[in-house]
Amino acid sequence: MKSRDYQIDNIKGLLIILVVFGHMLLASSKENNWLLTLIYSFHMPAFIFLNGVFSKNVNLRKVLVLVSNLRQLFVETEIN
């Protein structure tokens, strides 16, 4: 069994703290400020990237079929 990488755990913890801090800023400010924009520009992509790096092998064909179906659904929704 592989050992845990505590550096990654610490990065995820920091991202969670930034999510909470960003939500507090969003609730408390009536206007958009630069710190809120900065936090929201990278915290979710960073979560997605880190989870993708450590995910199990995914069947790429199934993912491509899912993306194609979602794209088709979006196009049909936009036309109607």
| pLDDT tens figures, 31-72 | 778 888 888 888 888 888 777 767 766 676 877 887 788 888
Distance CA 14, CA 70 (A): 32
Domain locations in the chain as residue ranges = 6-79
Token readout for 11 is 């990065």
* pLDDT (tens digit per residue) in 13-33: 898 898 899 889 888 887 778
Confidence band of 80 (pLDDT split at 50, 70, 90): low
pLDDT of 73 reads 81
Of 30, 49, 27, 46, residue with least CA distance to 38? 46
Would you state the pLDDT for residue 17?
92
Token representation of residue 75 = 């196009």
In order of 7, 14, 37, 69, the CA distances from 63 in angstroms are 29, 29, 31, 10
